[in-house]
Structure 1
Amino acid sequence: MNLLFRLMAVLVAALAGRRVGLLDATRLSMRVWPTDLDVNMHMTNARYLSLMDLGRIDLMIRTGMAPLILKNRWQPVIGAANVRFRRSLRPFQRFTLVSRVLCWDEKYVFMEHRMETAEGTAAVAVMQGAFIHRGTVVPPAAVLGALGVAVESPPMPDFVVAWREQPLPAAA
């Protein structure tokens, strides 16, 4: 519930904002609120991921994907995330969430989210996402086709290749 007002603000701004290309970055200006804090009086780790959800919503609306998602009943889901925390975000501190699509393969879309402050990067995350329809992954090529975009994926960065191919640890 405590993200409801932020969600509404993102929806209104994205619908009223300018459209962006699929590979363009979007920026959301935010502030750390008391409800974002943990016992150490900085933004709690889970809140970073929740706010990154808002960045993806902004990106999907501003690229024109949102109507297709609704029309086709696709479910955007995250299958994996890798987050690096560099600096704490303090109470009432302003920051900018920068979201962008990095690349895609035959199944997944890889996105980056950065939380930037005047002092530098506070956190950076790489997300592996997909669109699901009736329990099946919708290939990114099909999503792009529905969007009317004929563009090839940028080369997959080496760090994404290494992360993607890293085996999962064995169960204890």
Structure 2
Amino acid sequence: MNLWFRVLRVIVLAFFRPRLGLLAESRLRFRVWPTDLDINVHMNNARYLSLMDLGRLDMIVRSGMGALVWRQKLQPVIAGALVRYRRPLKPFQPIRLRSRLLAWDERWLFIEHRLESGDVLACHAVVKAMLVGKDGGIAPAELARQLNQGQDSPPLPDWLGPWVEAETLLSKV
């Protein structure tokens, strides 16, 4: 239930926060609640990913994608994730989630998430995502065009290339 309150909070507050450009960073603040904990009394690994969903939700609403998603009955879909858990998050610890669109190719959006507490990086992740409609996925270039942000993708960071290649190989298994 705790996550539903966070979802509602993110959606409502998004309407009062500045609009985001396609490559702008979303920043959200949370606190680690007892319902986020695992048996080791630190944030459960799955909860990190759930909070990242909220970062993408904030990006969708504030970038104008939300209207597009609603009109075209699109679903945001994650196809893969590269996650590095670096530090545990303890009960009641304040955290900041930074989310941004890193780059895209012909098919996929690559979104970076950073969960931080103070100046300490607790978790770093990149997800491979797309918006899917009844006729399949929308190409990122078409998405940018529909959002009147017809810019080219920034280059994919060098450190991400090997993961993208591994994902391509894994999809053939």
User: TM-score, normalised to structure 1's length?
Assistant: 0.95
Structure 2 residue matching 1:150: 3-state secondary structure: coil
Q: Report deviation, 1:159.
A: 2.0
Structure 1 residue matching 2:15: 3-state secondary structure: helix
Give the structure 2 partner of residue 18 of structure 1: 18
Q: How does 1:11-160 map to 2 (within 5 A)?
A: 11-134=11-134, 136-160=136-160
Q: Distance in 1 between matches of 2:74 and 2:4?
A: 22
Q: In terms of mean alpha carbon deviation, does 54-63 or 157-166 score higher?
A: 157-166
In structure 2, the CA distance between the partners of 1:55 and 1:68, relative to structure 1 (3 Å rule), is same
Q: Distance in 2 between matches of 1:27 and 1:108?
A: 22
Q: Report deviation, 1:135.
A: 5.1
Q: Report deviation, 1:119.
A: 4.6
Q: Report deviation, 1:168.
A: 2.2
Q: Distance in 1 between matches of 2:135 and 2:49?
A: 24
Q: Distance in 2 between matches of 1:111 and 1:159?
A: 14
| Post-superposition CA distance 1:148-172 (Å, at most 9, x none) | 112100001112211010132997x
Give the structure 1 partner of residue 170 of structure 2: 168
Root mean square deviation of aligned Cα:
1.4
Q: Distance in 2 between matches of 1:133 and 1:68?
A: 11
Q: Structure 2 unaligned segments of length 5 or more: list them.
A: none
Q: Distance in 2 between matches of 1:119 and 1:56?
A: 22
Q: Distance in 2 between matches of 1:127 and 1:64?
A: 20
Question: Which consecutive aligned stretches of 4+ in structure 1 deviate over 4 angstroms post-superposition?
Answer: none
Q: In terms of mean alpha carbon deviation, does 82-91 or 116-125 score higher?
A: 116-125
Identical-pair percentage: 47
Q: Report deviation, 1:20.
A: 1.4
Q: Report deviation, 1:141.
A: 1.1
Q: Distance in 2 between matches of 1:31 and 1:2?
A: 11
Structure 2 residue matching 1:16: 3-state secondary structure: coil
Q: Report deviation, 1:3.
A: 0.6
Q: Distance in 1 between matches of 2:152 and 2:119?
A: 35
Q: Distance in 2 between matches of 1:70 and 1:102?
A: 24
